[in-house]
Amino acid sequence: MDQQKQRIRDQAHHKVRKEFPGVAGSAGSNAPGIVVLTGAGISRESGLATFRDPDGLWAKVRVEEVATPQAFARDPARVQAFYDARRVQLRDPTIQPNAAHLALAHLAREHPGPVLVVTQNVDDLHERAGQPSLLHMHGELAKVRCLRCDEVSPFEGADLADALCPVCGARALRPHVVWFGEMPLHMDRIEQWLEANCDLFVAIGTSGQIHPATGFAETARAHGARTLELTLEATELTRNFDEARHGPATEVVPAWVDELLGAWVVHLSLIPIEEPEE
């Protein structure tokens, strides 16, 4: 790596450690930066109903009734009730992070390069697994946003229609979830990571049908990253990845993380240890 590229890399790593203090990624390390995109497939094995499966939520409820701004304008109580039910399901004691969530948290803490998990899921299973670096591009079930003051607040209740904004007191809360027709969240930061911190892009448990996530692998590759797909079975997008491994997330993800961390233990034992510059 030439000096200028190394300097840009070091600055990016410094920013990462400020943004996500739990991430191992150390300045001066040549360990690859990793961006992981997770989708419904990783939560399914924790028992959460998914949206796109044939027996998933969209088979029982029509998208346009509960997951669009128009639906909320037309019948807010109906939409609130749908997300109240999802939130209650998430707090069922049987719903827990699984081996794939835990492996990704372990990866971010142990891998010597920066690691970011971007999730399409609105559950909090990555957080509960201890994921130190995480962006929810489609929002979070356990948060609400106020339509009057625009503040986002945690919300654990089961009756959002009756709840008041803890900041301004208005009865004007909506789920902090990105609906069809709305822009995903954190897109600028995700793009920055894909351009500056991503040597390896990994898609886990995502059908790849959701825009703009479909473009992430392309962006990463355009900036020199290798791409890996870890899904239950081949998808329409498999051929666009450099490598694909198929099987349950709870099996393929821990195996991949072990392999990657093992490889870096070997690699790091071969290079001389430098004193940190700070």
Binding stretches for Zn ion (CB under 5 A)? 146, 148-149, 165, 167-168, 170
Q: How many CB atoms lie within 10 A of CB 263?
A: 10
Q: Which is nearer to Zn ion, 148 or 267 (CB)?
A: 148
Residues 6+ away with beta carbon under 8 Å from 14: 27
Smallest gap, in angstroms, from Cβ of residue 173 to Zn ion?
Answer: 8
Residue indicated by tokens 């051929």: 239
Residues 6+ away with beta carbon under 8 Å from 226: 199, 200, 201, 242, 243
Q: How many CB atoms lie within 10 A of CB 114?
A: 31
Catalytic hit among 101, 126, 138, 176: 138
The H-or-E segment that residue 267 falls in is: helix 249-270
Smallest gap, in angstroms, from Cβ of residue 273 to Zn ion?
Answer: 51
138 in catalytic set? yes
Count CA atoms within 13 Å of residue 216 on its CB side. Answer: 38
> Which residue in 113, 114, 116 sits closest to 131, CA to CA?
116
Q: Which is nearer to Zn ion, 168 or 234 (CB)?
A: 168
Whole-Å CA distances, 189 to 26, 99, 137, 196, 215: 20, 27, 10, 10, 15
Smallest gap, in angstroms, from Cβ of residue 165 to Zn ion?
Answer: 3
Q: Which is nearer to Zn ion, 159 or 277 (CB)?
A: 159
Q: Which is nearer to Zn ion, 69 or 169 (CB)?
A: 169
Q: Which is nearer to Zn ion, 105 or 144 (CB)?
A: 144
Whole-Å CA distances, 204 to 218, 238, 242: 16, 12, 14
Q: Which is nearer to Zn ion, 167 or 222 (CB)?
A: 167
Where on the phi/psi map is residue 29: left (φ > 0), alpha (ψ -120 to 50), or beta? Answer: beta
- Residue 75 has which token pair? 């019948």
Smallest gap, in angstroms, from Cβ of residue 158 to Zn ion?
Answer: 20
Q: How many CB atoms lie within 10 A of CB 246?
A: 13
Strand partners, 200: 34, 226
Smallest gap, in angstroms, from Cβ of residue 151 to Zn ion?
Answer: 5
Smallest gap, in angstroms, from Cβ of residue 159 to Zn ion?
Answer: 17
Catalytic positions are 138
